Amino acid sequence: MNILLFDPFSGAAGDMVIGSLLDLGADEEAVRAAMRSVVGEPTIERVDRSGIQATWVRAHAPVHHRTLDEVLERVAGSDAPATALEMARQVFFRIHRAEESIHGVGAHFHEVGADDAIADVVGACTALHSLDVDGVAVLPVALGRGFLVGAHGTFPVPAPATVAILAASDLQTFPGDEDRELCTPTGAALLAEFATMKPDDIGPAEIQAAGYGAGSRDPPGRPNVLRSMLLSVAEGIGGDRVDLLETNVDDVTGEALAYTLARLMEEGARDASAIPAVMKKGRSGHLVRVVAHPDTTDRLAGVMARELGTLGIRCIPMVHRFVAERTVETVTVALRSREWTIDVKCGWTAGKITSFKPEYDQAAACARELGVPLREVTGAVEAAARRLFIEQGVLEP
């Protein structure tokens, strides 16, 4: 598995996140295209920050204060993959929730609503998408100290929006020893959205590559960079990465739902379900949820849109999925004076079986041939499997 580890020892900002990912090997042309579609051609260059060669990214745009809807409209019109666009939307939702917690409902974006900030977010999400990593972790974030001047006047560092964003995340922080803003709201929101696991969960790993993204300041004797590292770790950390696709529908028949779920599985979904829900105005509906490998996300979203007629599909990208070790064990059971051999699917954790289930098709075939209820077959197989696994010492009594 490839894990991306951010090391914000000198804080983080949108341009630093993009620069570090480009330096790590992200698709520069895809990032340029995404940013260009928002503000025009960005400047990407190599610079020196206290002896460290780093990538510096600059978007060029006038400052506009926008509402959330205006920001999301700019995001939707940018040239980026669907998963990157949805991640960018979630980043701005994080920022918006933070702004409203501070300034009240209906608050406008200020510095983070400028077109260059929108370009930074879209560019960073595109860069992460292009790396196609299995997980993202973030080391403690340096915040800085002192005061700064913003749209509302003079505020303490870290900015109130940065504090609110980080407080709503699982990221750890430390003050740092510099009297300036080290972590911006945009940088905080990007790292919070990107993180899918804790650094302590990584375990032993090999560093495959490192990237450095430069900040705009170049203080003497301190490398103002964000470091990112691509780590190779064993699969033993217990899972993989999946995307979650969701949409709410209230005008789809049961037959159409069943057909759609079947089509999604045929197209490569890991799982697909329709969950009953009460929607606005008390209408009955369903939450359709799909677990997808990132490579199949766009295709499966297309299936959902075509079959369900939905106008919006939420993509929650790169969720860590715990996956138990799985084996198929063979169990012999006596039924109606005959012996039957039926496969049992087992889930393992820490060397012990934690779940087991008879193979449905084989159990159903046995039930049909004997003319008995399916539950009689599965019950007998489960009892035989339990005795066998306890004798083998792989199942707790």
Q: Tens digits of per-residue pLDDT, 152-187?
A: 678 899 999 999 999 999 899 999 889 999 999 999
Distance CA 290, CA 315 (A): 10
**How large is the average pLDDT for residues 186-214?**
93
350 or 176: whose pLDDT is higher?
176
Complete DSSP assignment for 224-287 = -EEEEEEEEE-GGGTEEEEEEEEEEESS--HHHHHHHHHHHHHTT-SEEEEEEEE-GGG-EEEE
User: Would you say residue 110 has pLDDT above 80?
Assistant: no
CATH superfamily of 239-322: Transcriptional regulatory protein pf0864 domain like (3.30.70.1380)
Choice between 52 and 101, residue whose per-residue pLDDT is larger: 52
Give the mean model confidence (pLDDT) for residues 7-24: 97
Average pLDDT for 283-291: 93
Whole-angstrom CA distances from 311 to 121, 314, 361 are: 24, 10, 38
Contact 28, 200 (CB under 8 A): no
Confidence of residue 7 (pLDDT cuts 50, 70, 90): very high
Characterize the bridge pairing of strands 205-214 and 314-322: unpaired
pLDDT above 50 (res 262): yes
Question: In this structure, what token pair is assigned to residue 239?
Answer: 């899972």
Distances (CA, A) of 295 to 8, 54, 124, 242, 282: 29, 30, 19, 9, 36
Question: Which residues, 6 or more positions from 314, have their beta carbon under 8 angstroms from its beta carbon?
Answer: 86, 244, 245, 246, 247
**Residue 199 scores a pLDDT above 80:** yes
Q: Would you state the pLDDT for residue 263? A: 93
Write out pLDDT tens, residues 30-85.
999 999 999 889 999 999 999 999 999 999 877 777 788 888 999 999 999 988 99
Q: What is the pLDDT of residue 351?
A: 80
- Grouping H, G, I as helix, E, B as strand and the rest as coil, residue 118 is helix
Residue 20 pLDDT: 98
Each domain of the chain, given as residue ranges in start order, spans: 2-237, 239-322, 325-392
Q: What is the mean pLDDT of residues 368-375?
A: 93
pLDDT digits (tens, 9 = 90+) for 226-237: 999 999 987 554
> What is the model's pLDDT at position 1?
80
In this prediction, residue 318 carries a pLDDT of: 67
| Average model confidence (pLDDT) across the chain | 89
| DSSP three-state, residue 320 | strand
CATH architecture of 325-392: Roll (3.10)
pLDDT band, very low/low/confident/very high, at 151 (cuts 50, 70, 90): low
Residue 237: per-residue pLDDT: 46
Best CA proximity match to 158, nearest among 11, 7, 8, 9: 11
121 has a pLDDT exceeding 90 = yes
Q: What is the mean pLDDT of the segment spanning 108-132?
A: 84
pLDDT at residue 368, rounded to an integer:
94
Tell me: pLDDT of 310 over 50.
Answer: yes
